Structure 1
């Protein structure tokens, strides 16, 4: 009997532990990682590769070649990694078996010191479900291995394994246990809270810019306010959809960033597929609200979404083009507010806000460079520390341009009609200038958030300067007298 127990212990020790990759060993999906990585590098070639949708091995191979995926950066499930480390310490072979491309799986195994023997898709074979089960049985025999998986498609493999390790899929774990199979359940899955974080709701504060035309035109009635607020909701949904696209295109760059590596998709806290569905849903909501408001607003919204997509795909990697595009996207919010409320937007106002936002775009890059760990290029961007002086100069030109246009507006016919006391407008230039110069200085010193608009909404001194500016402008317009006698 003692010999039998020793034999059984030896067989458990020698039995290999086979790990599925997508959603099991990794907290992500390598096919979708390759798709988004390839889309960021070569959008046209990526779309052309989709012609192989019915030939999965070929599709996976082409996307892997386009993406040049860094497998060493992919997020690992810590519980599964701990099981793998314990198995290797016992002298057991730990093998990866995945429907992903064979070259990627082999690199992943090498990155983590796992067995060089891998099972993966290639040469016309999509290694999933029953096909994977057959390959493993051919290599190790029935009940000759333990297998960790995470989805119902793994049931065919679990049925051939000695022990089933189920990651996150509670229904499959219960079904296997009911069938009398040895089952070990490991944590997995994702949370709605993590998905909500991926939508970046704190960024919605930037959409208060839609209120600017209403304030500048002194139209404070509910008939104007309500459609503008609906416009804010539409832009918030559209912005979250674009943030998801941006994060999926920036997975590698975010994983190399000292702060952004904690973003939900980069960290694997939310599956890429869930993010793609959320993106489609949010985009649909935005477009439906836009269509319900008016065609002018819908047109601006579509232009914003298309420009944002172009920015995420290509423009953000081009020096100077990126900050100009950021300024344009902020300006489009102002145009959208005018379109939603049916307000005739002043050309002076639009020309004024562009250099303001150009300055803030430079501040964003200055902040990133100040906080960068080294002097190299920012991941996914075209700037390095050597560009700080040029960014500072462009920011200074933006400050000067904004103040000059504000001054010229105070002298214009429309400006004198809306703000009869011009000297108060000139006085309002002082807090505007102080606010802009302070934002540039804080960006230069790296004492800001990575998004200057979000930082501005939390900065008490900056908010005080903005409130002082508005108070002087309302005084110049005679609104205090109208409201309070």
Structure 2
């Protein structure tokens, strides 16, 4: 005989691989940050009111939120049997009703209002009143759901083995569904492949030819600190960009957007790596600590607001790369030339334009990209700004060659000028590939994998070493 009892599903962590409260919190930080922070402080001890206030402050798309595949299969099986599928959640009723409509579930939902947080025993009482004792099957994922499973006919336990065992011991018919998250997903959220950008901290050491072991160790520690700091900001950026990432053909697979890693885990991880970055920076020097704090504040401002502002976002990106060079100087104690910074900033201004060019070129339509201020019609302007950046970088490099510092470090001046050829070739190549959409969405990560481009950079560095007489010095030292 077919089962006709309603199938009741918890939402957060059960039907969805995310949590609606944290979804609205991060959407609120992106859409109305000050009002969101005020609401959190004002209603921290009143969960129902807090959830209601966050819903009022935000606009989010519940239809994009990741659904647990195994639970979705359970829903389809219940529908095939003609059973009613009902959502019962401690999340705010407005969102739960919208979610039910998105997936064609029963319009009868159980959820929190402004005065009542429908959780644990309260949820159990509401379901028993509606369906009777043992008159429904219930799927949940947390120990708080034990209060509901006790009154259900069948306990469907998602990713909580301890609760499953407890319900079996109590004599319940239990169905187990895998859930949870893996450390590998957390590691992916930290984007360790992006840490390669922090080789920029070695630029001042490279330019000054200071290759002492103590200097290199200091810069290496600085790189570690910047890598942790960057990862903490990547976590924040991904949490702020959940909806935009879910609309993106590739980014929708990111750990938080896909639900592979819970938002709460991301928040804790971000705090831990951010704290580690500050601790390492404090060990190096107060100046380096100040730089890394400035980097994190500017990165956070970029994530919250600046990345949505046309042209300002590209200038900030270039600034964030330039800060890495300054940080390398403070970590190593090496003086950095103003001409070096004047070369670095426009060069990375060009790469910022390349990043946006790649995104708009690969976009399917002419409309502006979600969370960005650019679309395909902006390609000519992005190209022009990128060209200006190349000209500015090369001019700064050329002018530097006439300074007293350059004459001292690079006695063979014509080789410094000759190095402009592979540098120019590399910048133009990067721009061309971005303009035609033949790059990764991050030009720095692409550059580190591009063999031809790396060859051009190695040629330029080799020529500069020759101009400085370093090859001869090293060969003489090796021969003894």
Q: TM-score range by the shorter chain?
A: over 0.9
User: Superposed, which structure 2 residues align to 1:240-389 within 5 Å?
Assistant: 240-389=231-380
How far residue 97 of structure 1 moved from its aligned partner, in angstroms, is: 0.2
2: distance between equivalents of 1:82 and 1:373?
A: 31
1: distance between equivalents of 2:114 and 2:465?
A: 72
Task: Tell me the residue number matched to 1:475.
Answer: 466
2: distance between equivalents of 1:200 and 1:374?
A: 28
Match of 1:164 among 149, 155, 158: 155
Match of 2:12 among 19, 22, 27: 22
Q: Deviations over 1:31-87 (max 9, x none)?
A: 000000111011111111111111111111111122211000000001101111111
Structure 1 moving runs of 4+ over 3 Å: none
Match of 1:402 among 373, 393, 397: 393
Match of 2:68 among 59, 67, 77: 77
Task: Kindly tell me the number of residue pairs found equivalent between the two proteins.
Answer: 475
2: distance between equivalents of 1:160 and 1:272?
A: 30
Task: Tell me the residue number matched to 1:219.
Answer: 210
Task: Tell me the residue number matched to 2:98.
Answer: 107
Residue 40 of structure 2 is aligned to residue 40 of structure 1: no
Q: Structure 2: 5+ residue runs without aligned partners?
A: none
How far residue 123 of structure 1 moved from its aligned partner, in angstroms, is: 3.6
How far residue 484 of structure 1 moved from its aligned partner, in angstroms, is: 1.1
Task: Tell me the residue number matched to 1:142.
Answer: 133
Match of 1:195 among 176, 186, 190: 186
Residues 156 and 176 of structure 2 are in contact (CA less than 8 Å); yes or no, is this contact kept in structure 1? yes
User: Structure 1-normalised TM-score?
Assistant: 0.97
1: distance between equivalents of 2:133 and 2:364?
A: 52
1: distance between equivalents of 2:262 and 2:172?
A: 29
Residues 12 and 89 of structure 2 are in contact (CA less than 8 Å); yes or no, is this contact kept in structure 1? yes
Residue 85 of structure 2 is aligned to residue 94 of structure 1: yes
How far residue 420 of structure 1 moved from its aligned partner, in angstroms, is: 1.2
How far residue 343 of structure 1 moved from its aligned partner, in angstroms, is: 0.7
1: distance between equivalents of 2:356 and 2:62?
A: 28
Task: Tell me the residue number matched to 2:173.
Answer: 182
Residues 52 and 114 of structure 2 are in contact (CA less than 8 Å); yes or no, is this contact kept in structure 1? no
Say what the alpha-carbon RMSD is for the aligned residues.
0.7
Residue 142 of structure 2 is aligned to residue 151 of structure 1: yes
Q: Deviations over 1:113-159 (max 9, x none)?
A: 00000000004000000110011011111101000000001000000
Residue 469 of structure 2 is aligned to residue 460 of structure 1: no
